[in-house]
Amino acid sequence: MNPQDAERDAMEMAEAAAMLAEGIPLEPMPAELQERVLRSGPRRRSGWVLFGAAAAAILVMALAAGFWPRAVGGTTVAWSGEARGEVVWNGAEQKGLMRFVGMKRNDPRSSVYQLWIFDGERDERYPVDGGVFSIEREGEVTVPIVAKLPVRRAVLFAVTVEAPGGVVVSKREQIVATAKYGGD
């Protein structure tokens, strides 16, 4: 961590401690919310990574046969912008996949790609984080979608270029692909 970030953390921790000192009424977190947090936690992401690797291997064959959308059971829409390929999303099961063809490779040490899912039921300024990924080889690449929050009605998928690790709110300075969606 650089010195500026460490300084910011330390000062904000002093503020947080002052807030605690003044008194925060504590309520238990609802059990249902706790389970949602756990489902979207790092273990879940690890699981998705493993799932993604397995799914990618299966999809290499599925793609060749032309039935990969059926593997997710959702609706497929094509990317526009710099990317070629499709995104398939199943809103009922909250799962999906992205396929990219000829997408520019990124160096994960300096930048990553991040998917954003615009939800018609949420404020458009805050699309749902659909996960961070890298394109590490030429040709066709398939990436699982890892939505961090439930997506009630997907209306648009967008891929941005962000700093390593991704961001919570994108400045949308580099949008490389979008796909309008009306499947759910």
Partner 1 sequence: MALVTKSASVSAPLEARLLPRVAAGEPGAVRECVERYGGLVWSIARRYAEGREDAEDAVQEIFIDLWRSAGRFDERVAGEATFVAMIARRRLIDRRRAKGRRPELVAEKGEATASGTTLDTMLDAQIAAREMENLRPEQREALQLSIWTDLSHPEIAERMGVPLGTVKSYLRRGLLQLRFALSVGRNV
Contact set with partner 1 (CB under 8 A)? 1, 5, 9-30, 33-34, 36-38, 40-43, 46, 123, 125-126, 129, 148-149, 165, 168-169
The residue among 51 and 126 lying less far from partner 1, judged by its C-beta, is 126
Q: Which region, left, alpha or beta, applies to residue 130 given φ > 0 means left and ψ of -120 to 50 means alpha?
A: alpha
| Shortest distance, position 5 Cβ to partner 1, whole Å | 8
| Shortest distance, position 150 Cβ to partner 1, whole Å | 9
Cβ(75)–Cβ(183) under 8 Å?
Answer: yes
Strands 128-133, 112-119: pairing is: antiparallel
| Shortest distance, position 83 Cβ to partner 1, whole Å | 25
The residue among 38 and 78 lying less far from partner 1, judged by its C-beta, is 38
The residue among 28 and 139 lying less far from partner 1, judged by its C-beta, is 28
Cβ(145)–Cβ(115) under 8 Å?
Answer: yes
Q: Which two tokens stand for residue 160?
A: 């941005």
The residue among 148 and 153 lying less far from partner 1, judged by its C-beta, is 148
What are φ and ψ of residue 18, in 5° steps? -65, -40
